[in-house]
């Protein structure tokens, strides 16, 4: 900058440079800086798709899922909060290649950039297929697919419980096949949704109902074909465990022959279609009916053949031959009657002789036991017992008298009156208490003295202690 100055009366032109003012210094706190960066990043990267591989997956008790999304060049922490995690159709796991939709943010407590996921999708396979394979592997490891735990179907069920939609074609097809093959079979319908989010819960409720009511012999889960999304309720872990816990045998008839669900693997029997389920359940009964029909036809043919043979034989036989045959048959029957009559007469004679011998033995025993002799013997026994009783009574009375005398003497010896008769006396105060010590008495106190015969009253004039005596 140039300026003019006047020195010694002359003007002189000169130059002077001034430094620009220093900018004001702003001091950030760590929280402010991280917050500013987070706001900027979230505005710039609010909605994006990122592809990578899951590693270091951790599920928190809060329901949030934490993992690292990586590729061959870099890695970035990511979080899937509980609400979004509950909407996933598959279970994230380490090593799974996914597409992540979300935003970039900064975790302020660590100052660390992270991805906040809103949606996850497996790369190369749908989420439903991944969830299917994951659940299938898990339940297979637990042994829910093992043949040893599957229950056999009853050969001749009386009532079948079917869980399906009451308005679909499935129930009509099932009833048509069952009625044609086993007309006496009862079918009990538990209406339930077979598509949608609540379908798995309603089917599981049907299984629980039949197990509690015990009004059916076998349970059938039926649904027509559909896409993987339509059959998603039958790939539910909750429904699979309800089928495994059922005490009644469960038949899974879901979809077409090429469709497979988790319910098919857990159920005790998998039927390709609902109509096939009806055929499998009634197979034994249908075989029996077919066998009965076959045997009936064979019996009819055999009867007709035997009837034809009998007619031919009858035409060949003459009247004379028939009369001789009948006469021989009657003679043989008469001979059999005579033989039986002889055997009956011999048996009756033997019984009569046996009864006569028994009567003779009883008569002899009766004569030996004369009532007069037995009465005399009883009288002698009675006299002997009477004499023994009299002697015992006299001895007892004498012993009692002796004991009475001894007790009387003992009582007299211990009686206070006996002591009084020897010259002693009992002294009582005015209250009737026995006086044992002069300390109980006072001068001029009235006392009563008891002697062996009678008593008298007196007044105390002087008290003397043992020492004074």
Query: CB atoms < 10 A from the CB of 87, how many?
Result: 10
| pLDDT under 70: residue ranges of the chain | 1-22, 124-131, 135, 183, 226-230, 257-259, 284-292, 317-324, 367-368, 370, 417-418, 466-469
Q: How far apart are CA 454 and CA 77, in angstroms?
A: 125
CA nearest 113: which of 68, 81, 146, 160?
68
Residue 54's beta-bridge partner residues? Answer: 69
Q: What pLDDT score was predicted for residue 1?
A: 47
> What are the counts of helices (DSSP H) followed by strands (DSSP E) for the chain?
12, 15
CA dist 142 to 130, 393, 426, Å? 19, 94, 104
- Percent helix, percent strand, percent coil in the chain, to nearest 5: 50, 20, 30
Calculate the dihedral angle through the C-alpha atoms of 326, 328, 332, 333, rounding to the nearest 10 degrees.
20
For 135-176, the pLDDT digits (tens) are 677 777 887 778 788 888 887 888 988 888 888 788 888 888
Q: Do residues 141 and 170 lie in contact, with contact meaning Cβ atoms separated by under 8 Å?
A: no
For 328-351, the pLDDT digits (tens) are 788 888 888 888 888 898 888 888
Q: What pLDDT score was predicted for residue 8?
A: 47
Helix (H, G, I), strand (E, B) or coil at 79: strand
Q: What pLDDT score was predicted for residue 67?
A: 92
Q: How far apart are CA 153 and CA 278, in angstroms?
A: 12
Query: Any residues with CB less than 8 A from the CB of 445 and at least 6 apart, and which?
Result: 429, 430, 459, 460
- For the question of whether the overall pTM of this predicted structure is more than 0.75, the answer is no
Q: How far apart are CA 105 and CA 33, in angstroms?
A: 14
Domains of the chain with CATH codes: 30-124 (2.40.50.140), 146-281 (3.40.50.2300), 421-459 (no CATH)
Token pair belonging to 383: 């006299």
Q: How far apart are CA 363 and CA 279, in angstroms?
A: 83
Q: How far apart are CA 309 and CA 298, in angstroms?
A: 16
Token pair belonging to 145: 């697919």
Q: How far apart are CA 36 and CA 5, in angstroms?
A: 52
Q: What pLDDT score was predicted for residue 289?
A: 62
Q: pLDDT averaged over the chain? A: 80
Q: How far apart are CA 262 and CA 265, in angstroms?
A: 5
Please, what is the Cα angle at 66 between 63 and 70, to 5 degrees? Answer: 155
Q: What pLDDT score was predicted for residue 34?
A: 83
């Amino acid at each position: 900058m140039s300026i003019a100055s006047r020195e010694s009366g002359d003007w002189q032109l000169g130059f002077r440079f001034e430094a620009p003012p220093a900018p004001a210094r702003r001091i950030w706190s760590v929280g402010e800086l991280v917050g500013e960066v987070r706001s900027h990043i979230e505005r710039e990267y609010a909605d994006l798709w990122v592809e990578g591989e899951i590693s270091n997956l951790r599920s928190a008790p809060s329901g949030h899922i934490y993992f690292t999304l990586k590729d061959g060049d870099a890695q970035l922490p990511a979080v899937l909060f509980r609400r979004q995690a509950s909407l996933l159709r598959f279970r994230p796991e380490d090593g799974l290649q996914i597409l992540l939709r979300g935003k970039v943010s900064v975790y302020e407590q660590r100052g660390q950039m992270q991805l906040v996921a809103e949606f996850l999708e497996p790369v190369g396979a749908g989420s439903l297929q991944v969830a299917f394979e994951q659940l299938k592997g898990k339940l297979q490891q637990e042994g829910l697919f093992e043949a040893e735990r599957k229950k056999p179907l009853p050969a001749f069920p009386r009532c079948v419980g079917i869980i399906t939609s009451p308005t679909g074609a499935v129930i009509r097809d099932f009833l048509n096949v069952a009625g044609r093959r086993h007309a006496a079979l009862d079918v009990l319908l538990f209406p339930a949704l077979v598509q949608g989010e609540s379908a798995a819960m309603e089917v599981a409720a049907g299984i629980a109902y039949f197990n509690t009511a015990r009004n059916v012999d076998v349970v059938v889960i039926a649904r027509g074909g559909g896409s993987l999304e339509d059959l998603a309720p039958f790939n539910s872990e909750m429904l699979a465990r309800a089928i495994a816990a059922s005490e009644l045998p469960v038949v899974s008839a879901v979809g077409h022959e090429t469709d497979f669900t988790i319910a098919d693997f857990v159920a005790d029997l998998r039927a390709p279609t609902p109509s096939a389920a009806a055929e499998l359940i009634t197979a034994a009964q249908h075989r029996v009916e077919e066998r009965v029909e076959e045997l009936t036809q064979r019996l009819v043919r055999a009867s007709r053949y035997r009837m034809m043979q009998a007619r031919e034989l009858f035409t060949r036989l003459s009247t004379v031959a028939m009369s001789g045959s009948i006469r021989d048959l009657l003679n043989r029957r008469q001979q059999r009657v005579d033989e039986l009559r002889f055997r009956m007469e011999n048996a009756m004679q033997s019984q009569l002789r046996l009864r006569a011998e028994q009567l003779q033995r009883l008569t002899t025993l009766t004569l030996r036991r004369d009532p007069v002799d037995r009465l005399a013997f009883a009288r002698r026994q009675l006299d002997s017992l009477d004499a023994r009783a009299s002697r015992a009574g006299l001895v007892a009375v004498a012993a009692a008298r002796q004991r009475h005398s001894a007790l009387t003497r003992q009582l007299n010896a211990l009686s206070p009156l006996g002591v009084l008769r020897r010259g002693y006396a009992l002294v009582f105060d005015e209250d009737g208490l026995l006086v044992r010590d002069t300390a109980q008495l006072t001068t001029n106190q009235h006392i009563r003295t008891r002697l062996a015969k009678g008593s008298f009253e007196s007044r105390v004039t002087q008290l003397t202690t043992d020492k004074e005596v």
